[in-house]
Amino acid sequence: MGREAVLDVLSRTEDHLSAEDIYMCVHETYPAIGLTSVYRTLDMLVNIGLVYKFDFGDGRARFELAEGPKGKDHHHHLVCTDCGRIVNYRDFIDEEVALLKKTEEGLSKKYNFAITNHLIQFYGLCEACRKK
């Protein structure tokens, strides 16, 4: 079962890997594994909540380990709209976390949503892309 292998690959990087990226990594250790199994495993891991699935607009899904005991810390993203570079940003301003929590509570009541997660991304131009 490639579940361990996939989680292992994801735990070793800060990048946002595509299914095929992961496939190639796992393939080095388990040459027998197929791309289909990677997709299947990722799908399961996302459903369980161990892995997050993102779309950064480049036509393929990207994955990262969810926060948790073995996971990375919770973070948000800075996305360059020109080159696609993605920065993991986890140094939140103090008030930021508090307000986020407060907002979630307000929304939960008002719209009768049981909020479990959020996605926050800032878009702009990275330094390199600004200079060309």
Choose which of 8, 21, 24, 88 interacts with Mn ion (CB under 5 A): 88
Nearest to 64 by CA among 79, 89, 45: 45
Residue 1: contacted member of a second copy, DNA, Mn ion, none (CB under 5 to 8 Å, by partner type): DNA
Q: Assess 83 for contact with a second copy (CB under 8 A).
A: no
Q: Whole-number minimum distance, CB 76 to DNA, in Å?
A: 21
Q: Whole-number minimum distance, CB 62 to a second copy, in Å?
A: 11
Residue closer to a second copy by CB (options 3, 77) is 77
Q: Assess 55 for contact with Zn ion (CB under 5 A).
A: no
75 in Cβ contact with 89 (< 8 Å): yes
Count the alpha carbons within 13 Å of 72 in the hemisphere toward its beta carbon.
22
State the angle between helix axes of 19-29 and 3-11 in degrees (0 to 180), rounded to the nearest 10.
110
Residue closer to Mn ion by CB (options 18, 88) is 88
φ, ψ for residue 67 (rounded to 5)?
-70, 160
* Residue 47, both tokens: 């459903």
127 in Cβ contact with 78 (< 8 Å): no
Enumerate binding residues for a second copy (CB under 8 A). Answer: 53, 55, 57, 78, 80-81, 87, 89, 91, 93, 95-96, 99, 102-104, 106-108, 110-127, 130
